[in-house]
Amino acid sequence: MSGAKTFYITTPIYYVNDKPHIGHAYTTLACDVLARFKRLDGFDVKFLTGTDEHGQKVEKSAEAAGVPPLALADQNSANFKELAGILGCSNDDFIRTTEPRHLAACQALWTKLLEKGDIYLGAYEGWYSVRDEAFYAEDELVKEPNGAKLAPTGAPVEWVKEPSYFFRLSAWQDRLLQWYEDNPDCVGPNSRRNEVMSFVKGGLQDLSVSRTSFKWGIPVPGDDAHIMYVWLDALTNYITALGYPDTSGDFARYWPNVIHMVGKDIVRFHAVYWPAFLMAADLPPPKRVFAHGWWTNEGQKISKSVGNVIDPLSLIETYGLDQVRYFLLREVPFGNDGDFSHRAMMGRMNSELANDYGNLVQRVLSMIGKNCGGQVPERGPATGDDSEMLAPAYGLLARLRDAMDRQLYHEALEAIWMVVRAANAYVDKQAPWGLKKTDPARMGTVLWTLAETIRLLALATQPFMPTASNRILDLVAVPEGQRDYRSFSPVAALVTGTPLPSPQGVFPRYVEEVAS
């Protein structure tokens, strides 16, 4: 792929204190869809995910479990690696912050910041949340009626006083604001960009970037009494995976043409601290940070204590992988909060996948099998109706590119479904079953137009539903070498006389089992 446009996409690295849940699956799937789309569109793509394995939370959990921190990290990191496989993810790398390559990258970045005068030794005194691995100012805390103080996330906080190295974040306030102004797309969606800019305009304090009260982390170079603050450690993973501190090779190839996909709760770390660290180290900041929303479950906030955490593995077992992939990126505008409900899931599966798309494929290919000898029919002269059907189908790629570059997955899927609905309306209007006796040549043209539309729809849906889309491409006999987006044109259209396999259902209706 020498000379190809490059594209780098990352999930946040997932904290090994958690068990994988729907939020992790959502972010990873969003990245996978974008990675697949860009690959199909001719980009040289690198897709990274992985696990964040240091910090006080891990040390405390390991202590409670009576195991070394690395043993706990090994076990839980494996769960996230397994999840990526079960989700059908196409990631090129899976990084762990306990790897030697990551230690080397973090210590190199620290040394660079120290040399530049952006890190200095002092003492930290203030509020710290172990659960969030974050420091909070007094005015950010939530005061409970009983006098207790909580982080804005609801996590408990404790007063911490210890020697600490600091990063001169305050010195980067104006340069960060300039970066946001000069790069209006660097943080998305706009609501998060406004939130980040408001935070920075409110004044930045220097950031404590080391701890001495626990040991599970990356040692500060030249001062083993300190370990690096877990966020400086964690964020560095994005350049560790590109070979940093070597800035040739993959680093030169992919950085900074990167999109960091994150949950809205960690946008500050990615859109304030991370660009400041990079610029201070004479490295370009990321191209874009996109923060998506959170899911609720049947209208309720998801929490372990309520016991309504959604397990992505059981969702896939119940509904199917492509169906879950489709639903999560179709149901709500990406960037907004969304509610998961089984009723909504079944509705999308049955009305859109089974009735709209699946039924279109099944009935068109069944008619071709029955009336055209199981071969791609002959295309006769096109009517205005045929051109009206094919124009938006061929035009889909331009619409998809625009939506995907803005991470508006729901808009991409709606553009696809407009063509699906138009194809179903075209079938009903043309009534090819009636043309068999009255005008068989016209019947062939109508069925060719529909089969070609199905080919284009299957190309378009590949990033979202790779398995089902490939089955549909098999059903219209598209060769393996003609499934990328160079084939999204009339040049690669279906060839008359090509034998087609027997049509088979792709999206079965979901029928809820009734307990007897």
CB 238 within 8 A of CB 270: no
Integer-rounded Cα radius of gyration of the chain? 26
Kindly state whether residue 6 falls inside one of the protein's structural domains.
no
Interior/surface letters 486-497, b for 16+ CB within 10 angstroms, e for the rest: ebbeeebbbeee
Question: Which residues, listed in sequence order, are joined to residue 37 by a DSSP beta bridge?
Answer: none
Amino acid at 77: S
Kindly state whether residue 161 falls inside one of the protein's structural domains.
no
CATH number of the domain encompassing residue 397: 1.10.730.10
- Total count of domains within the chain: 1
Q: How far apart are CA 173 and CA 176, in angstroms?
A: 5
For the chain, give me the number of helices (H) and strands (E)? 21, 19
Kindly state whether residue 497 falls inside one of the protein's structural domains.
no
Domain that holds residue 481: 343-492
Neighbouring C-beta atoms of residue 333, cutoff 10 Å: 15
**Predicted confidence pLDDT, tens digits, the chain (516 residues):** 456 799 999 999 999 987 888 888 999 999 999 999 999 999 999 999 999 999 988 999 999 999 999 999 999 999 999 999 999 999 999 999 999 999 999 999 999 999 999 999 998 888 988 888 888 888 889 988 888 899 988 889 999 888 999 999 999 999 999 999 999 999 999 999 999 999 999 999 999 999 998 899 999 999 999 999 888 999 999 999 999 999 999 999 999 999 999 999 999 999 999 999 999 999 999 999 999 988 777 777 766 666 777 788 889 999 999 999 999 999 888 878 888 888 999 999 999 999 999 999 999 999 999 999 999 999 999 999 999 999 999 999 999 999 999 999 999 999 999 999 999 999 999 999 999 999 999 999 999 999 999 999 999 999 999 999 999 999 999 999 999 999 999 999 999 999 999 999 999 999 876 443
CB 27 within 8 A of CB 12: yes
Kindly state whether residue 506 falls inside one of the protein's structural domains.
no
Beta strand pairing status for 258-263 and 6-10?
parallel
Q: Report how far Cα 188 is from the mean position of its chain's Cα atoms.
A: 13
Kindly state whether residue 290 falls inside one of the protein's structural domains.
no
Kindly state whether residue 368 falls inside one of the protein's structural domains.
yes
Kindly state whether residue 352 falls inside one of the protein's structural domains.
yes
Kindly state whether residue 53 falls inside one of the protein's structural domains.
no
